[in-house]
Amino acid sequence: MTAATPLTTTPPLVADQPTAAKIAKKRLSSPWASLAAIVLAVLWTLPTFGLLVSSFRPERAIKTTGWWTFFSNPTLTLENYRGVFGGDGSVNLASFFVNSLIICIPSVLIPVSLAALAAYAFAWMNFPGKNVLFLVIFALQIVPLQVTLIPLLEIFVNVKLTGTFWTLWLSHSTFALPLAIYLLHNFMREIPSGLIEAARVDGAGHVSIFFKVLLPLLTPALAAFGIFQFLWVWNDLLVALVFAGGGDEVAPITLQLANLSGTRGTAWQLLSAGAFVSIIVPVTVFLLLQRYFVRGLLAGSVKG
């Protein structure tokens, strides 16, 4: 969908030359511009910050006073985090946390590998029906997941896979393919064809070209998509709800957090800590690999 957006996102940084935005900003009487930026940044951070502070406050304090009173009367506790890991209550997020990891790893590795092969075929090989197939796969990006869930559930029931991780691995992998193929294809087309031809002249087959020539060059693209997919799967609720809604054995942490919010909507000591346990992994991945993530976003961003 975003074919017009440039794939390479880092224009040379020339410090002294003004950009349109910079001039616009200067003329917008700078103090006001900075103030507006700060106000927006604060507004965007406050909600998360408020819940983060609350997750370290004693239960009674959370429920009777606002989190902003913390700064005049600071009391810290880790009790809430002990609570969501099975401390005294019936809530234990640990096994759901494991489930999320178990769901995510294959759901990232499988589509990335399959899409890399397919993208290679589309980018560097000639075969009848190539353009039509590529167009169809490209178009499949717009299919909303909702349309596929019930018939897919029926298939899983028929082959007796319900209640297993397989349902989630297979469905997440399938749903990821159109976008993955499209993204990786775009990256592969950027590799100069001379490299591939030279390797072919040297007598390399498709397998060795793929592994020896393309794979090293593709690592950033694979990383970009991998992070994209990881965040998507980790944060998913709908697919998990449909395929793993029945039992706790395979349910991911988002599902458990959603259930907690539904059944114990006022247990803020658990909800606040639980929310942060669930976001710690994606936020860490995101902060460490933001560069790749942005690259993936810029290369195409329509996802079912």
Partner 1 sequence: MFNTASTTPEKILQMLSALLLFAAVMGVILFIAGRFGGKKGDRIVAYLYLLPVLLLLAVGLVYPGLRTIYQSFFDAAGDAFIGFDNYGTIFSDADQLTVLRNTVFWVVLTPFVATAIGLVYAILVDKSRFESFAKTLIFLPMSISFVAAGVIWKFMYEYRPDQGNVKQIGLINQVIVWLGGKPVQLLIESPLNSFLLIVVMIWIQAGFAMTILSAAIKAIPDDIIEAARLDGVNAWSMFRKITLPSVQPTVVVVLTTIGIGTLKVFDIVRTMTGGNFETSVVANEFYRQTFNADNQGLGAALATLLFVLVIPIVWYNIRSLRQSEER
Which residues from 150-169 bind partner 1, rule CB under 8 A?
150-152, 155, 160-161, 163-166, 169
Strands (E) across the chain are located at: none
- Stretch 269-288 residues interacting with partner 1 (CB under 8 A): 271-272, 274-275, 278-279, 282-283, 285-287
Helix/strand/coil for 109: helix
Least gap, CB of 14 to partner 1 (angstroms): 7
For residue 89, the minimal CB distance to partner 1 (Å) is 17
Task: State both tokens at 30.
Answer: 């700078």
Indicate the residue among 76 and 238 with the shorter CB distance to partner 1: 238
DSSP codes joined into one string, 78-89: SHHHHHHBTSSS
> Is residue 130 part of the contact set for partner 1 (CB under 8 A)?
yes
Closer CB to partner 1, residue 204 or residue 217?
204
Contacts with 278 (C-beta within 8 Å, 6 or more apart), sequence order:
93, 97, 100, 253, 254, 257
In angstroms, rounded to a whole number, what is the distance separating the alpha carbons of residues 9 and 33? 25
From 117, 135, 195, 198, residue interacting with partner 1 (rule: CB under 8 A): 117
Please state the closest distance from residue 77 (CB atom) to partner 1, in A. Answer: 17
Which of 159, 183, 181 is CA-nearest to residue 170? 159
Say how many C-beta atoms besides its own lie within 10 A of residue 87's C-beta. 14
Cα 107 from Cα 114, distance rounded (Å): 11
Query: How near is the Cβ of 220 to partner 1 at its closest, in Å?
Result: 16
Find the part of the chain contacting partner 1 (CB under 8 A) among 82-90, 185-193, 218-226, 291-299.
291-299
- Report the nearest approach of partner 1 to the CB of residue 56 (Å): 14
Instruction: Report the 10 Å Cβ neighbour count for 128.
Output: 7
Which member of 62, 91, 179, 224 binds partner 1 (CB under 8 A)?
A: 62
Amino acid in position 145: L
Q: Is 81 in the site for partner 1 (CB under 8 A)?
A: no
Cα separations in angstroms, 252 against 91, 100, 102, 244: 14, 5, 9, 8
Query: Number of residues in contact with partner 1, rule: CB under 8 A?
Result: 134
Q: By CB under 8 A, is residue 58 in contact with partner 1? A: no
The interface with partner 1 within residues 92-111 (CB under 8 A) comprises 95, 98-99, 102, 105-106, 109-110
Residue 119 contacts residue 217 (beta carbons within 8 Å): no
Beta partners for 85?
A: 92
Residue 55 has which token pair?
């997750």
Q: Least distance (Å) from partner 1 to the CB of residue 50?
A: 6
Q: Which of residues 231-270 bind partner 1 (CB under 8 A)?
A: 231, 234-238, 241-242, 245, 247, 249-250, 254, 257-258, 261-262, 265, 268
Establish if 125 lies at the interface with partner 1 (CB under 8 A): yes
Q: Does 191 bind partner 1 (CB under 8 A)?
A: no
Nearer to partner 1, 213 or 297 (CB): 297
> Any idea how long the chain is?
304
* 206 binds partner 1 per the rule CB under 8 A: yes
Applying the rule CB under 8 A, the residues between 22 and 51 that interact with partner 1 are 22-28, 33-34, 36-37, 40-41, 44-48, 50-51
Give the 3-state secondary structure of residue 92.
strand
User: Tell me, what DSSP letter sits at residue 254?
Assistant: H
Q: Which residues is 92 bridged to in the sheet?
A: 85
Q: How far is the CB of 194 from partner 1 (least distance, A)?
A: 19
